[in-house]
Structure 1
């Protein structure tokens, strides 16, 4: 890592722990800063804070006392989950104290260039695909961010020979100052996290931070099928690399005659795979810009079974293929899943009722032969299923019971897809728990 002197003898407050806060606090301490850590969890229940205290770092736990800011801090490193409306953050900004996230810190110390991936849907899959393609191409990638290891921890170990492939949320991107990836990727933008950002405009502005420091020497891979992403591209100084699932785009990635093309070159054949085409186009563009050979790209796509809970291939039973897309907590994600298949689908859907209807799904339900519903939204999904002309619709108690019912209605060649279009919290603690129950139920089938 770069032995920077930026923080030597500077008073820095790390607000909120979890993995990123612990890593950032320890790193800043090694860089010679006078670090104070403030976390809401009581010290007696906080092993992370206890460990930092043993390293000689000042720790204040149990609350976020605003008066702590009177101690003359020159910087705050904020946990991404803490909203900017938090009184500590608001007071700090009023006092003119800069607030960053540890992603910014990772960029400052890294000897390796970054490939940064953001967007509403598909970030994790795209990040994983890019990492695997670079690895297959012997480019020595490291993976970081929301997937993998804390960014500043990865950056501390990286050398000039590495490339850090990092998934970035809007929360993290709000706290960057100089962060500048060699390649930035924006998969898509839909309404999300508006409770945190306050408006779609603020959400888009946060996403746009991924390219705000890029120059004409860097690249921005951007969705050419969305007005929101096109507008971000217009404001960027980077070289724009568009991708499209709908049209041929100059200087970018697109589908033509069953192949992925990049800058006029036929790269890899795309048979129907359980990975969103948008994700593939993003990953191919980033890999080609990084000098990866077509053979390595093809090798990855042929063997890739998906990230767990994200259109993940689970198993084949008696000619039926099962896919776990429990991460599909909104309609857009379920639409993306449905468009990945051209075979008959038995769809398992339902979950938390957030007040919305599901009419946007109707055009994409044409290949759904059976709809199995569960959870609070079961009646709403059944209504749109009938409007879409699905002949067999059945309600069950939960995901565990949905699997054998779906199998009973299925035939060889069918896809049985868990893609709920809803959050899990009416029945399950997380979408991961929901997906694990689906996987277990598939493996219990006789």
Structure 2
């Protein structure tokens, strides 16, 4: 290939502009193209320990906790998650820090050049995934913790083989691509289980999904560890007991959702068995400090504002439970919500309809963004048309305006929850400092 200096010397913003120009509806199933480019760049093995984390919900938090404990143990770890909330470099984390932009640009050029040489085209996610792998290889990470983007079997991340496969949960989301039954969705996610893997760890899943995962693990001769069968966690106000077989250990409460803690501890114990020098103090420190933005993230008080990226029915159920566990106050709960067109909007709003006293619905930008009118209509179906006449449902052209209105109308003892999409939380985060002073 003739070196294209204008491409090679592009800034990160120019690279992202190039990637965002790729047709977002062009999702080409199959790993052949990605594998060809990965092989060209010698990226089919990127670390001594590779952990892949799939699941409908909880995979980002689980991946972050595992990576945090590894880094705190002195094991240089690459963490790949998606999407990002504020800056693209959030997706590629090395040793606990966001990737350097210069290295990421070098990675994008390497992927671009290799794809040209292989004569293949890549999607946005395939480009970013391979660039992350390039960065990890260049940084000589000892471990790589990789969040699956969609499904598992045909996801670009699955081009590398995991030493430990993790499936956090199985629920209904992306049904047009993954299938409309739990068994079909489980089949796609179980595709990350490969022959030669040390183990597969499964969180709490329905019997129908577990049967599919068990069959895949048996076919690949991979040991399976299932929550509530092989391990579990009992939580109290000051910590939790982790139990596996005759083993029982006490840990501090986690900042990530509790539902992710037991699976994460199981993975870390398995990594110890593989030779990783993970310390108890590092695990405790990670539990107490690691969190991902946008997961019941408290932004400020008086009024209290939380950000949560809940965007599908299982996540809505988790949010509902989290709301019921909040300290009781004299104030009311106000929802600022924006969602994408391809999500199960009616089911999410049905689950949360009784959790809020006031609703501020907002349109999201772009082709995938759902309109305020659709959200308002769906809420009217759940709450009745009187809710509109009583001003319990208000609509706005953007998240910024909706959040401004909620804060302006709130009393100090009220609680505001911003949810519905990474896009919603991202837009709220970009404007919240102009509304309230963020708590450190």
| TM-score under structure 2 length normalisation | 0.64
Of the three residues 359, 370, 394, the one matched with 2:358 is 370
Q: Which structure has more helix as a fraction of its residues? A: 2
Q: CA deviation at 1:211?
A: 0.7
Aligned positions of 1:360-399 closer than 5 A = 361-374=349-362, 375-376=372-373, 377-385=375-383, 393-397=392-396, 398-399=398-399
The root-mean-square deviation of aligned C-alpha atoms, in Å, is 4.3
Q: CA deviation at 1:418?
A: 0.6
SS of 1:324's partner is: strand
Q: CA deviation at 1:361?
A: 4.6
Q: 302, 313, 319: which is aligned to 2:288?
A: 302
1:355 Cα deviation from its structure 2 partner: 8.6
Give the structure with the higher percent strand.
1
Residue 313 of structure 1 is matched in structure 2 by 298
Structure 1 pair 323/267, CA: closer, same or farther in 2 (3 Å)? same
Work out which of the residue numbers 97, 100, 107 in structure 1 matches 2:35: 100
Q: Structure 2: which 5+ residue stretches go unaligned?
A: 12-21, 83-90, 93-98, 100-130, 273-277, 363-371
User: Structure 1 residue 348 and structure 2 residue 292: aligned?
Assistant: no
SS in 2 for 1:224: coil
Q: Which has the larger radius of gyration?
A: 1
The match for 2:232 among 225, 229, 253 is: 253
The aligned residue for residue 106 of structure 2 is none
Equivalent pair of 1:141/1:162 in contact (CA under 8 Å)? yes
The alignment partner of 1:108 has SS state of coil
**In 1, are the aligned partners of 2:47 and 2:143 still within 8 Å (CA)?**
no
Number of matched residues? 348
User: Which residue of structure 2 aligns with residue 168 of structure 1?
Assistant: 148
- Offset, 1:50: 9.1
Residue 138 of structure 1 and its aligned partner are, at CA, apart by 2.6
CA distance in 2, matches of 1:386, 1:136: 51
Q: Which residue of 1 aligns with 2:416?
A: 416
Structure 1 unaligned spans of 5+: 1-34, 38-42, 52-63, 65-78, 244-248, 425-429
Task: Tell me: higher relative CO, structure 1 or 2? Use CA pairs within 8 A at least 6 residues apart.
Answer: 2
Could you tell me which of 344, 358, 376 is aligned with 2:346? 358
TM-score normalised over the length of structure 1: 0.63
Q: C-alpha offsets along residues 386-443 of structure 1, whole Å, 9 cap, x if unaligned?
A: 69x99982313142233344335545565421112xx58xxxxx44652334534543
Matches within 5 A, 1:268-283: 268-270=251-253, 275-283=256-264
Q: 1:300 to 1:442 in 2, by over 3 A?
A: farther
Distance 2:36 2:189 in 1: 14
Which of 136, 147, 168 is the equivalent residue of 2:72? 136
Instruction: State yes or no: 1:84 paired with 2:72.
Output: no
- Report how far residue 130 of structure 1 moved: 1.5
Partners of 1:221 and 1:360 in 2: CA distance: 28
Q: Distance in 2 between matches of 1:353 and 1:171?
A: 19
Q: How does 1:109-128 map to 2 (within 5 A)?
A: 109-128=45-64
